[in-house]
Amino acid sequence: MNKIVLITGASQGIGACIAETFAEKGYNVAINCRSQNEVENGGNSVAENCRSHGVEAECFIADVSNFEQCANLVKEVAERFGCIDVLVNNAGITRDGLLALMKEDQFDSVIAVNLKSVFNMMHHTAKLMIKARKGHIVNIASVAGLYGNPGQVNYSASKAGVVGITMSAAKELGARGITVNAVAPGFIETPMTAAMPEKAREAALSGIALRRGGLPKDVANAVTFLASEEASYITGQVLVVDGGMIM
């Protein structure tokens, strides 16, 4: 029987690529989208691409910063597919600005979507995985959460939090046969980085040992590895996927 993966924020970018990479490997895929608009303008075609690999795939709407909507999301996916073998917390946003100029809402919204969502989703999914005594959780962090980045105090704080929650959850859930890891991408070519000012893009690319931005597939390959049997003795780790940007 196919395993089931649930990926948050999978209507585009890295999340969409993670969904399609799991489908290539024979997983049935639950694609979380923030709203009906994202289902129609991304999610549906991600689901179609997944199904082209002969697996089942469906979109599920939820704003993952909302605790109750996450409870419903997990319930709906478990009812539809019977269980959740792998959870990938991918949804994320940026609201960049300098510390002294940053509005309270810019800080709060990034913490809510990037960090609180990870608590929401792990809280509800862990109950199912504990019962099943197995499961893999992969959280998408960022090198900004490990080393900081000017203009991103909100984003780097949220991603540092993702690293902390990953390690604590790994220590709690290890005895139940559940692994919890994080992937920390560097500069990946997606709509998120396409929106950066050209100068900032050039500066970021010039500091990468491999001299190119990463592809969503580079991140997806790391995520599927951490969810695989081959990685069954790896937990509480942060796998940096940055082409040698930070060493």
Contacts to ligand NAP by CB under 6 A: 8-9, 11-15, 32, 34, 38, 63-65, 90-93, 113, 140, 142, 185, 187-188, 190-193
Question: CB 232 → ligand NAP: shortest distance, Å?
Answer: 24
Question: CB 74 → ligand NAP: shortest distance, Å?
Answer: 13
233 is catalytic: no
CA distances from 4 to 47, 83, 110 (A): 14, 7, 28
Tokens 């919890």 -> residue: 180
| CB of 57 or CB of 64, closer to ligand NAP | 64
Q: Which residues are catalytic?
A: 155
